[in-house]
Structure 1
C-alpha cells in the first residue's frame, strides 16, 4: 500500500482539513514517472499530507519548497552538506537520501515525502541509483524517527502555508546543481547541455546554454549531471 494512495482517497471522499499519513513500511510506494519502490519495516519515513484547501505556494514551486523544508530539517540534525537536486531529490555526498512526490486532483493536493532513516544492504540491489540514509550520514548521532517526523511535519506545514520572497535564496544554499554543467533530455528530443543557474520564482530550473538562458519545467525533463552527481536520474 502507499500513503499517497490513502491521502488521495481521503481527498476524493471529501476530506475538509489537512491530514497526514505515516507508514512503518510501504509495499507500493511510487515516485516520478510511476516508478515503484518499497520500504522495509522501520527503515525510513514515509509521509503523505493531504491538503484539501487552497495552497498559497504555486504547484510548480511546491515540490521545491517541500524539499527546502526537508533539507533544513535534516541539517538541523547535523547533516550539514545535505543538498537538493531539482526538482524532487534530497541528496548527500551524491547519493539519494530522500524524495518528494506531489500529486493533484480536483479536491486538493497530496504532498508525499520519503526519507531514508536506516539502510538494509539487501535492498540496495533493487534501487536504480545510489542511495544513502540518515544512519550513514550521522552514525551514532542518529535521532529517533519520531523526532525527525515531528521536525519534518512542523517545517513542511509552515513552508507550504507561507508566502515567501526569500525561499529562492534559501534554496540556493542547498542547490546541488547550481553552477554545474548538466545534460537535459526532453522526452524523445535531442539532449542539450548547459550550466545550471538556479531556479526562478515559479520553480523552473534555469540553464545557461550557448544560445541563451532556458527554463525547464519539472515533469517535462530528465536531468543528468556531468560531474559529481553523474548518472543519477530524476
Structure 2
C-alpha cells in the first residue's frame, strides 16, 4: 500500500492501468490497494476516465529529508530513525524496543496511529499523513531523580523547534501541552522503563496537530487547532519533524548536567496559566487556585484558599476557570 500512496501523494490523477504498470501488479491488485487506502480515511477521489487521486496530495515523511535538516551535533546523538506507515502507538513501539535493549537515541515516527495515547489514558486521534507522531528513547543513569521537570523541558524544546519553523505566539500549559489562542496544538507523554533508582530509559512521545482534518473534531473532547497556518511558507512535515528532533536531542544531551533549572525561566516566559485562576482535576478530587508559577522541579505552585501548595504532574489535568 505504501508504494501506491507514494505515487498518489502528488495529488494528480493516475489511471488504474498506469498504476498497475508502475507497480507491476494487476488491476485487481491495484483495486485491493485502493480499498486499503480508502480505509485510512484519506480523501481519495475516483473519476471515470481520469483514475484516482488523493485530493490535495500527501506530505509523506521521508527519512532522507529529515536527516538532511538535522545538524551534525544532533545527528551524532541519533542512533536510529525509523518511519512506520501505521502503528498502534509510537510510544508503545519505542517502549517495546527499550525494554529489550539500550536504545538511547532511538526515534520512531509514524504516518498514523491506531491506538494513539495521551495523558491520563486518553486517546490521541492520529489520522494518516496529517500530523506529527513521534517517540524518542533516552537513557538516564541516575534514575527518576535525573528526570525531574523533564516533561516541561521537553515542551520548551518542542516550542523551540516550532518557533524555528515560523510559529509564533504558541504558549505552554502545565504540565506539557502546547496551545495557540487557548486551543491545543500539541501534547507530550513521558513513560519510563528500567530501574527507578538506577539506569532507566525514558520514552518521550510528542504529538503535533499539523493538518488535522476538521471531520475528526467529533472525536476530540477539547478545543484544538492546526499549526500549519502558523508556519513559514514551504515548511513540510519533514522539516518540522527535523526541527523538533534537533531540539529534543540537544536538550537531552545536556539535561543530566543542567536539569530543569536551565529551562525554568523559558517555561515561565511562555506559561499560559501564570497569574490565572485554574481548576486542577485529580484522580479523586479537584481544587481551584491561583497560579503563582512553577518550582525548581517543575511542580505547579498554586495558591489555594490563601495557602501556597505545590502540585506535581502525573494524573492531573489543568483547566482555566471561566
| TM-score > 0.5 by shorter chain | yes
Q: Write out aligned runs for 1:87-102 (5 A).
A: 87-102=175-190
SS of the aligned residue for 2:149 comes to helix
- Deviation, 1:119, is 2.1
Instruction: Identify unmatched segments of 5+ residues in structure 1.
Output: 228-234
Structure label with greater radius of gyration? 2
Does the alignment pair 1:69 with 2:157? yes
Correspondences of 1:128-143 after superposition (within 5 Å):
128-138=221-231, 141=233, 143=235
CA shift digits 1:77-130 (9 cap, x unpaired): 222210011012110011110000000111411000001111201111111111
Higher helix share: 2
**Compared with structure 1, are the counterparts of its residues 24 and 16 closer, same or farther at alpha carbon in structure 2 (3 Å cutoff)?**
closer
Aligned residue in 2 for 1:41: 128
Report the count of equivalent residues: 225
Instruction: Indicate how the Cα distance of structure 1 residues 213 and 28 shifts in structure 2: closer, same or farther if over 3 A, else same.
Output: same
More displaced 10-residue stretch of structure 1: 118-127 or 35-44: 35-44
SS at match of 2:125: strand
Higher mean alpha-carbon deviation, 28-37 vs 55-64, is at 55-64
| 8 Å contact kept, 1:17–1:52 | yes
1:198 to 293, 309, 312: 293
Does residue 31 of structure 1 match 2:118?
yes
Sort the Cα spacing of 1:64 and 1:27 in 2 relative to 1 into closer, same or farther, 3 A: same
Q: Is 2:97–2:103's contact at 8 Å kept on the other side of the alignment?
A: no
**TM-score relative to the length of structure 1:** 0.89
More strand by share: 1
Find out whether 1:210 has 2:305 as its counterpart: yes
Separation of aligned partners in 1, 2:271 and 2:233? 25
Q: Which runs of 5+ in 2 are unaligned?
A: 1-87, 195-199
Q: Measure the CA separation in 1 of the matches of 2:235 and 2:314.
A: 33
